[in-house]
Amino acid sequence: MGLDELHWAWQAVIAAMLVVGGVFALVGAVGMLRFPDFYMRLHAPTKATTLGVGGVLVASMAVNWARGNYGLHELLITLFLFITAPVSANLMAKAALHLRSASKAPVPPDQPHP
């Protein structure tokens, strides 16, 4: 059973999830390229790109549900991704703090400069 044989409502849901996932992944990639230092770059892939991959995996689960399958593999991948991405980002940020990696973030005027 191909995607063209699915009901139009399933096709709309799948297309919407793919577009949402693609937009989040694009925003994460642009943030990774544009942010000036490690700490800001760490935020882009752990938030936006995680949601982008999650959107694509939800679309894949919708395809399986429309065909009558459970889609357990996609659900496990999504859960694993949503659990491990924040933990790994936290560990990388702690390592950068431990190594005293300098930040290029602007300092507010009422705060002393380091």
Contact 55/75 with Cβ under 8 angstroms? no
| DSSP track, 30-81 | HHHHH--SHHHHHHHIIIIIHHHHHHHHHHHHHHHHHHT---HHHHHHHHHH
DSSP H or E segment with residue 111: none
Q: Of 81, 78, 60, nearest to 69 (Cα)? A: 60
Domain borders along the chain are 3-98
| Whether the predicted pLDDT of 43 surpasses 70 | yes
The per-residue pLDDT for 12 is: 92
Look up the pTM and report it.
0.73
Using one digit for the tens of pLDDT, what is the confidence trace for 53-75? 889 998 999 888 888 888 788 88
DSSP H or E segment with residue 114: none
Tokens of 3: 């995607």
